[in-house]
Amino acid sequence: AQKVTQAQTEISVVEKEDVTLDCVYETRDTTYYLFWYKQPPSGELVFLIRRNSFDEQNEISGRYSWNFQKSTSSFNFTITASQVVDSAVYFCALSEAEAMDSNYQLIWGAGTKLIIKP
């Protein structure tokens, strides 16, 4: 069965610290997509990254980086030198491409609330 686990319910760090948000997924498909979204207090989801299952290269975008490890079924997200504006709820999600009746639905993790204190 497909599942996304974000074990960290809430993380609180002081500004400028690095922080890693964990995401572990389960799927039987060999082709799938992983996503990270940010949801600030306004509620609007902000797309951060999409990664397909065949691309295990880590990605860096400014202060954000992602570590995709198929061997451990993890897709962790690191924020370097965190800022107060990074405070939000972050969701990891999985979409399976092979399930014909899936309509490419997203399977969501529970989310991690990140609090960056000044």
Partner 1 sequence: GAVVSQHPSRVICKSGTSVKIECRSLDFQATTMFWYRQFPKQSLMLMATSNEGSKATYEQGVEKDKFLINHASLTLSTLTVTSAHPEDSSFYICSARDRLAGISYNEQFFGPGTRLTVL
**Positions that interact with partner 1 (CB under 8 A):** 31, 33, 35, 37, 42-45, 47, 50, 52, 91, 95, 97, 103-106, 108-111, 113
Output the smallest distance, CB 16 to partner 1, in A.
27
Residue type, 31: T
Distances (CA, A) of 6 to 35, 45, 54, 68, 86: 13, 17, 22, 15, 18
Output the smallest distance, CB 55 to partner 1, in A.
11
Residue 95, H or E segment: strand 88-96
Q: Which is nearer to partner 1, 15 or 106 (CB)?
A: 106
Q: Which is nearer to partner 1, 80 or 106 (CB)?
A: 106
- Cα of first residue to Cα of last residue in the chain, in angstroms, is 41
